[in-house]
Structure formats: C-alpha cells, structure tokens
C-alpha cells in the first residue's frame, strides 16, 4: 500500500525521492501515474487527493475522436480561442495526444457518458464539433477519484496529505526538491526532479469558482526561485457562477448553454446577442464582458440563466449536480431561471514550459493550470484544461532520471539539526488571533484584485492597486515568520505549538497570494491592449505590436519575441 505519512523522513532514504510531485489534482495524479513505477515518488498535497480544482470541473474534457471530427479542427478551434497567442506546436501536441489519454482513462474505469454504447460527445462554446466528453456534470470528480484510487495502489508513491510546500530548494542553478511543512515539522525533501502541479490562483479574487486551495502556490514558488513566467495577465472569468445571496460561488457549466440555456436579464431579454453574434455560445471572455457591461448599463448585480428551453428529461440526465445545488438554495431550474454572475475561473498564464513540461530551471517541471504550455494563449478553449493536465502530465514518463540517485542524499545524510528557537521571534498572539488577522488581510487583497484587475481594467486603477500592494508586501516581508524560509537544507524544525498546521498553511497561502497579485497587476499594467481574458477600458482593441507573450523573470517584464520600436 501507498505510504501516507512522513514518519520515515528521519532517515536519509525517507526524505529523498526520485521525483517530488507537488499537487494532488488531475495534473499531479496523472503525472505520478505516468512516471515509471521503478522510481520513488513523493506526492505532496495541501488537502486530500480528492480536493482540487480538477475535482470541481463540470464541463468535460475535449478530444477530437468523433467520426466527423479531426485533430486539425480541434487545433483550429483552440488557436481561434487563444486570440493569436497560442503556440501552434503546443496545440498540435495537445490535440494529437488526446485520444490515447482518453483511452487510458476509460481503461482505468472513468465512467464517461455513453450513447448506444459509444462515448457521448457534446458541443461547447467555440468548438466547431461535438467533441466534449462528460461524466454527467461531475467530470472532474469522476476523473480525479479514479486517478486517486490508482495512485493509492502504487507502492512506489508516498502520498503526503495535509502538507504545505513553502519553497523550492535551489542549488547551483538546479532545483533539488522543496521545503515542506507537515505534522508540526518543517523539512527539506530532495528529488532528482520536482513537478509543480498546484493548480491556478483564482483565490486571489473576491469572486471565484476555484476551491480554497487555489492560491497560486506553484507559480509563486517558481517565481521566487527564478523561473520564467509567462502571460500572467490573462485570467478567464467564467460567465455563469451561481449568484444567489448567501450561496458560495458555484460554477454553472458551459455545457448548460451548449445544451440550449438562454442568458436573460431581469426583463427576460436575451442580451448576449447585443455583444456578439453567437450570443450565449460566444467565447467565455466575450460572454463575461457582455454580462459585466450589461450589468453596468442596467444597474443590476446579476443576470439569469434560463434552462427551461432544455427538455426536462435531458436537463435531469445531463446536469444532476447542478440541479441538486440550485435546489439546495431554493431554486428549481426546471421552473425558474438561475441567478448568475461572472467569477474568476482559470489562469491562462503560468510557469513557462516546453513540450516535455520542463521549466527554465533544470530539474523543475510544471503541469496543469500552473504551467504556461502555450496551449491556451490569451483565452482557453472550453474543456481543454483537463486534457492539458493529461497530455503534458504523460510527458513525465520520459524524465531523465538516474538509477540509484534519489535527490541529493549527500546533503541529507547527516544527523538532522533543529533551528534554535531563539532565532525565530514568534509573536505572542494566539493562533486564533493570527488566523483572524490573516483572514482579514486576505479579504482586503482579494477585494483589491476584484476592483482593479478583474473583468475590466484601467491604468489608473492598476497603478493604485500596485501602490497599495507594494506597501502590504513590504510589511509582509518583514514579518518575523519569514524566518521559516531560512531553514537550511539538511535541517528540520519542529514547529512551536503557537504555529499549528492551519496557521502555517494560511500564512504561506497569503504570502503566495501577495506574490501572484503583484505579478498579475504588473503584467496587466504592462500589456497596453485588450486581448482574450485581458480587457483594458483605456486600450479596448487588440494591437498587432502586442501579439507577443509577456515574459517575467524576477522583477523584469519583457515582450517575447521582442517588438522593435
């Protein structure tokens, strides 16, 4: 059976792996399963294996496997959605490798919907063919649960649940592992290869469909370690998140509109066609902006998604979970329109990777939403995200590992030493007080980001937010708990009682949110045009000179390739 604790980490072998995977969603799980079983793998997840943004994915997974479809058509649709910023080789790789990944999921036992024994294909916005596979309206959960079961059967994988990675271990320009907090202990874990699969950063916004764990950890750690990042200004806002007072944000799948639901305002008017000829089936960024501008025009706080045009039997068959959640809040989609509004959903930007999921740092890889593979460009095509997790996770089967060399055992073979508590000036406040303060700071940050860098952006608001955030980050970087980042490789540290696991996680997540907020704001101010998920009120049109990537390394922002003046 798979180990699920760090009790063996006192030994040199216990804290040293061939591959360290950070993240327990579809990308991390599939990557771990793709790595040959002869290699020793540590899989770190903040929650349990079943809690991730992948687990929340309702829409489905795209693959050109229908008789009337072709890889070339899937590529073309993806390129159009990406608004000129997709990397064509990455898109070709994604679409051409879809079929074997779907076949492997079927073999593992994922129960995709079927029609007369054949895999059922549905149509979603901006797809030219019916190519999206579903498992009812809980596709992500169906996939993640099966992958988690498979991981738990692999004796070479040690699952480290409720563990938080604070930093990457860098030595001589190479990533050698990560600093991980788990069970009141802080310790470096070494590996030949480290894989970041931590998901996106939707929690940096006040309104998001992402789970609480989506705090941009992988992107923040990679940036602090010196990795190149790309296109961080491009955030996709899902048009239809449940907007019932008191209810948490809940995504109403793209597939509902694909099946025939209408977007209407308070008067029942289908306003989306005023903004795009495809109406509700326009790309997500177009529909989100249509709702945003229509709400500005009407003064309302929400619009409605009318599912009544869909036959009741079809609605109950395709979307049982959506019906269940809506009814929990007193809304029956069979008889009443559902109140919705946009929410942050997917981060197109991330850590720059190549076709083998390698970052710009040797020994460091990234897969899933925290990676920028070049597939999504400025605006992700619906249902390509789960596919990207699989296709690029599968590339890790080719990791250039060396037998008999797990991590850097030379550094970890000495007797573990503890940091002197006198060097860590812990605050005297209780964990409850500290958590309350962190929660307040996090709310302040997420509202700032929603006001300045959400669906519609403008230079003055961006600069004001950057100024506020600069001061907050300066204060944060002077916090005494920053000494945790100074733990030297080879050392372990028993966390004091005043710093328990929930507090370590909350503190670490807030630091990462500060970092990715800075990256998003500065990237959004840098790109003086509108394209895909990035809309500037002061630069409302796309510009040919900006049909390039925004590349970030350290505190340097550049266009890639450079544009000559």
- DSSP conformation letters of 331-377: --TTTSPEEEEEEEEEE--EEE--TT-B-SSTTEEE-GGGEE-SSST
Query: CB of 87 within 8 A of CB of 374?
Result: yes
SS3 string, 266-295, reads CCCCCHHHHCCCCHHHCCHHHHHHHHHHHH
User: In angstroms, what CA-CA distances link 251 with 54, 58, 68, 240, 281?
Assistant: 13, 8, 30, 6, 16
Query: CB of 497 within 8 A of CB of 504?
Result: no
Q: What's phi and psi for 351, nearest 5 deg?
A: -80, 125
Spatial distance between the Cα atoms of 170 and 543, rounded to a whole number of angstroms: 39
Alpha helices, H only, 110-228? 139-152, 217-225
For residue 375, the tally of other CB atoms under 10 A from its CB is 25
**Stretch (H or E) spanning 522:** helix 501-526
Spatial distance between the Cα atoms of 366 and 63, rounded to a whole number of angstroms: 22
The three-class DSSP label of residue 112 is coil
Query: CB of 33 within 8 A of CB of 56?
Result: no
Spatial distance between the Cα atoms of 210 and 204, rounded to a whole number of angstroms: 10
Environment class of residue 338 by beta-carbon count within 10 Å: exposed (0-12), middle (13-18) or buried (19+)? buried
Query: CB of 539 within 8 A of CB of 530?
Result: yes
Reported for 464-473, long-range contacts at CB under 8 A and 24+ positions apart, including other chains, are 465/521, 466/518, 466/521, 466/522, 466/525, 469/445, 469/514, 469/517, 469/518, 469/521, 470/518, 472/441, 472/444, 472/445, 472/514, 473/514, 473/515, 473/518
Non-local CB neighbours of 35 within 8 Å, separated by 6+ positions: 19, 41, 396, 397, 399
For the annotated catalytic residues, the residue numbers are 284
Spatial distance between the Cα atoms of 391 and 219, rounded to a whole number of angstroms: 20
CA quadruple 62, 358, 489, 477: dihedral sign: negative
Query: CB of 217 within 8 A of CB of 28?
Result: no
User: Please, what is the end-to-end C-alpha distance for the chain in angstroms?
Assistant: 60
Non-local CB neighbours of 555 within 8 Å, separated by 6+ positions: none
């Amino acid at each position: 059976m798979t180990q699920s604790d760090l009790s063996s980490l006192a030994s040199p072998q216990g804290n040293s792996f061939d591959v360290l995977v950070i993240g327990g969603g579809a990308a991390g799980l599939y990557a771990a399963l793709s790595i040959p079983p002869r290699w020793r793998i540590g899989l770190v997840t903040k929650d349990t294996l079943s809690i991730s943004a992948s687990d929340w994915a309702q829409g489905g997974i795209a693959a050109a496997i229908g008789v009337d479809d072709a890889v070339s058509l899937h590529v073309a649709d993806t390129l159009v959605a990406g608004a000129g910023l997709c990397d064509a080789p990455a898109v070709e790789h994604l679409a051409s490798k879809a079929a074997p990944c779907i076949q492997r999921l079927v073999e593992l036992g994922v129960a995709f919907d079927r029609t007369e024994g054949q895999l059922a294909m549905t149509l979603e916005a901006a797809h030219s063919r019916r190519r999206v596979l579903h498992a009812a309206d809980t596709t992500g959960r169906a996939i993640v649960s099966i992958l988690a079961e498979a991981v738990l059967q692999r004796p070479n994988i040690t699952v480290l649940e409720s563990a938080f990675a604070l930093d990457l271990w860098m030595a001589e320009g190479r990533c050698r592992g990560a600093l991980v907090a788990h069970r009141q202990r802080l310790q470096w874990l070494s590996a030949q290869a480290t894989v970041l699969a931590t998901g996106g950063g939707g929690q940096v916004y006040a309104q998001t469909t992402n789970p609480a764990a989506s705090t941009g950890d992988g992107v923040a750690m990679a940036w602090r370690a010196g990795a190149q990042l790309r296109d961080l200004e491009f955030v996709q806002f899902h048009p239809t998140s449940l907007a019932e007072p008191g209810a948490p944000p809940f995504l109403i799948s793209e597939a509902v509109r694909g099946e025939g639901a209408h977007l209407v305002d308070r008067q029942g008017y289908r306003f989306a066609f005023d903004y795009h000829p495809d109406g509700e089936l326009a790309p997500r960024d177009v529909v989100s902006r249509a709702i945003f501008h229509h709400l500005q025009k009407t003064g309302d706080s929400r619009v409605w998604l009318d599912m009544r045009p869909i036959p009741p039997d079809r609605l109950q068959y395709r979307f049982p979970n959506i019906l269940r959640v809506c009814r929990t809040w007193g809304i029956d989609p069979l008889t009443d329109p559902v109140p919705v509004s946009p929410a942050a959903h997917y981060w197109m930007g991330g850590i720059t990777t190549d076709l083998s999921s390698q970052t710009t740092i040797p020994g460091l890889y990234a897969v899933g939403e925290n990676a920028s593979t070049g597939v999504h460009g400025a605006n992700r095509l619906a249902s390509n995200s789960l596919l990207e997790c699989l296709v690029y996770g599968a590339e890790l089967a080719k990791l250039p590992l060396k037998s008999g060399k797990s991590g850097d055992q030379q550094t970890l073979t000495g007797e573990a030493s503890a940091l002197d508590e006198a060097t860590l000036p812990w605050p005297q406040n209780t964990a409850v007080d500290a958590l309350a303060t962190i929660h307040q700071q996090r709310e302040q940050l997420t509202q700032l980001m929603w006001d300045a860098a959400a669906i519609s952006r403008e230079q003055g608001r961006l600069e004001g937010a950057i100024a506020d955030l600069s001061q907050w980050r300066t204060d944060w970087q002077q916090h005494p708990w920053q000494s945790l980042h100074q733990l030297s490789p080879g050392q372990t540290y028993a966390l004091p009682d005043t710093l328990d696991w929930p507090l370590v996680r909350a503190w670490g997540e807030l630091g990462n949110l500060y970092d990715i907020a800075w990256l998003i704001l500065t990237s959004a101010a840098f790109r003086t045009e509108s394209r895909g998920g990035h809309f500037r009120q002061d630069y409302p049109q796309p510009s040919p000179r900006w049909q390039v990537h925004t590349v970030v390394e350290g505190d340097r922002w550049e266009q890639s390739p450079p544009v000559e003046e």
